Structure 1
């Protein structure tokens, strides 16, 4: 099966060019990758903030303040 149109590989490889799939879509892949990366970080920040807010409200607030004032 050939995805690049070559049926015979007995050619000068310098003239062949790129032989990987999805040739020409590198810019699109970079844009999708960066968007995924930023979205993943946004989701992580939101979830972590929710977790920290929940942890902040657990326990006795007066005991926490007393322990923090010791240091």
Structure 2
């Protein structure tokens, strides 16, 4: 209970106000969440771009295309 500043719950909770832990650090939590979210999107963008670039190179490999056409 020390994280919210009360030592006893024997009070009228209507007068207490917020009773969740880490009160006052909401902006820090939001900032960390946004930074994590943007970082995750950046990592995904880089990985997917690399994957698509490799797929494009494989699809445009003329020798493999020619071999697959000659088979049929």
**TM exceeding 0.5:** yes
Structure 2: runs of 5 or more not aligned: 66-72
Q: Cα RMSD (Å) of the superposition?
A: 2.3
Q: Secondary structure at the match of 2:15?
A: helix
TM-score (norm 2): 0.73
Tell me which of the two structures has the higher relative contact order, counting C-alpha pairs closer than 8 angstroms and 6 or more residues apart: 1
Aligned to 1:61: 62
Structure 1 runs (4+) deviating above 2 angstroms are: 1-8, 59-63
CA distance in 2, matches of 1:39, 1:30: 14
How many residues are treated as equivalent by the alignment?
A: 65
